[in-house]
Structure 1
Amino acid sequence: MLQGTFALFHRALCVDFRLTRTHLFRFLFAVLILFCLMIAHSSSRVMGAAGLYLFSQIIYLNFMFILMAGISFFATAITEEKEEQTIGLLLMAGV
């Protein structure tokens, strides 16, 4: 039952690994996490619970990146499947 899903997952990993967009997205995320860490470190002198501030910023950042990635990657994937006329593979996989 999950073989079709795993086949799509494997194909997506092989294709997305070659794209520079994926690597840029990850690099931007790492830079923003580092920026949040620096802000939490600098604000730890003035306010208490700097870890709580860092944790809440990372949660917010995760939410925003997952939202943006979900929208952009899903729309691109559906468009590519329609152009390559392989949308039947998605329907056959039952995803």
Structure 2
Amino acid sequence: MRLHDSFVVHDGIRAKAYKPGSSKFYIDTRSGASYYRKGDQWHHLIRVIDRENDRYVETIRVLSTGELIRHVEEPLSEHFGHGGGKNQGRANKP
């Protein structure tokens, strides 16, 4: 009888920048592996939320193949209806 087992480690990094005396970040950046349950695949996610310059950038690729799944680069003020903002309308956007 032969037994075989393995494990894979995925990493990532996230950084937020705050101005002195402020409780809201002005930049939030994330890069690393992200598991997509619906597709049962690991993806590589790069996301930058830049409030100071009104920018939202997100790139998602399949980790195993590098296939581009999504690339968005738009003003943050026009980015709504995704993630935590799914239940917000235009009037409530940041």
TM range (shorter): under 0.3
State the TM-score, normalizing by the size of structure 2.
0.22
Select the structure with the greater relative contact order (CA < 8 A; seq sep ≥ 6).
1
Pair member with larger Rg? 1
